[in-house]
Amino acid sequence: MRSREYLGFIRMLADYQFVAGAGERLFPDDVELELSKKTGYIRRIYRDGELLATLRPSDGYLTLTITAAKILKELTPGMSFKVRVSDEARPFILKGRDVFSRHVTECDKSIAPRQEVLVIDSAGELIAVGRALLSGSEMGVMRRGVAVRVREGLR
């Protein structure tokens, strides 16, 4: 595949993984693709020298940075892909600590384990991005355990 075909592929993947139209907004024409020297597959996606996303080799899905999460938050309506946390957990999550189930006050019930999620505070502001470890129906109900493995907090 050539660079243009790769760009079309990651846009299509973002549309599938998140919401229709996410690919165009997350990855405009000026993104730079870093390919694996060994396999030739896409590894990382940059814009203006800043990392936006990584292609997870284990399953081929995108993992987002906080920069891309800010864009995705504007694209997704309501609670789609979002986990709302209590104010007492906010300072820890901002530093990149994981979200425990007992701190989840609201979430998208369609979240599946291993899915990329946006962590928001009680005011609806983005504070972190990470990977769900529990389903949306389990988050907040279970009183123990990690609900979201935070990759990056807003700091």
DSSP letter for each residue of 52-79: EEEE-TTTS-EEE-HHHHHHHHHHS-TT
* Per-residue pLDDT tens digits of the chain, which is 155 residues long: 456 678 999 999 999 999 999 999 999 999 999 998 898 889 999 999 999 999 988 888 999 999 999 999 998 888 899 999 999 999 999 999 999 999 999 999 999 999 999 999 999 999 999 999 999 999 988 888 999 999 998 87
Question: How many CB atoms within 10 Å of residue 70?
Answer: 14
Residues 57, 23 within the same domain: yes
Name the DSSP class of 124: S
Residues 39, 95 within the same domain: no
Residues 58, 98 within the same domain: no
The domain in which residue 12 lies consists of 3-72
What confidence score (pLDDT) does residue 91 get? 94
Q: Supply the CATH number for residue 125's domain.
A: 2.30.130.10
Residues 59, 116 within the same domain: no
Cβ atoms 70, 123 nearer than 8 A: no
User: How many domains does the chain divide into?
Assistant: 2
Among left, alpha and beta (phi > 0; psi -120 to 50; other), residue 146 is beta
Residues 67, 95 within the same domain: no
Residues 123, 94 within the same domain: yes
- Strands 99-100 and 104-107, by their bridges, are unpaired
Residues 45, 91 within the same domain: no
Residues 64, 129 within the same domain: no
Domain boundary among 57, 72, 87: 72
Strand partners, 82: 118
